[in-house]
Amino acid sequence: MKPDDKSAPRFSISMFAVQCGTCFKWRVIPTQEEYETIRHTFTEDPFICEKKSGTSCEDPADIEYDNTRTWVVDKPNLPMTPSGFKRGLTVRKDFSRMDAYYTLPNGNRKVRAPAEVEKFLEENPKYKEAGVAVSDFNFATPKIMEDTIPADIEVGSSSKKRKMAKTEDE
């Protein structure tokens, strides 16, 4: 990692969870693949507890939304990552935003923009032939929930202002 790299290695996605549309409890989804499958059709086909095997709305929540961990909320209906590729996210040091990337098959090369995906698909026609398209890659990033950001992180100028306001109160 270069010292000027804007993404911090300190935090990474450790868990996927989805909220039940009926009871609003959070359910942990064991794999990124299953999570992406649910996310892909989330608007037309909202998640309910029964979709997680052995689970019903009667069961206690798997996890609670609180600030013991930082939560980021995904956009619904993102395309499913084509087989062989892997979607990843990094968070900037100041937690101002996240960045999305895809790891390419057969190696650790990462792409961070549609133009890079297009170049890769042109250079490796076998993926195009297998039906992989640039539209399968989406670089939309989740919203970082400000109330769950670690207390020692100074997020942009707005939270500095808030901290100052807090100091004035004391």
Select from 5, 6, 12, 22 the one that contacts Zn ion (CB under 5 A).
22
Residue 18 vs 20, nearer CB to Zn ion = 20
20 in contact with Zn ion (CB under 5 A): yes
Contact 71, 65 (CB under 8 A): yes
* DSSP for 19-71, written as a single string: E-TTT--EEEES-HHHHHHHHHTTTTS---GGGSTT--TTSPPSB--STTS--
Select from 8, 13, 23, 89 the one that contacts Zn ion (CB under 5 A).
23
Residue 23 vs 134, nearer CB to Zn ion = 23
- Contact region for Zn ion (CB under 5 A) — 49-57, 58-66, 118-126, 153-161? 49-57
- State the Cα angle at 32 between 31 and 33, rounded to 5°: 90
Residue whose beta carbon is closest to Zn ion: 20
Give, for 8, the enclosing helix (H) or strand (E): strand 7-8
Residue 23 vs 63, nearer CB to Zn ion = 23
Q: Can you give the binding site for Zn ion, defined by CB under 5 A? A: 20, 22-23, 49, 57
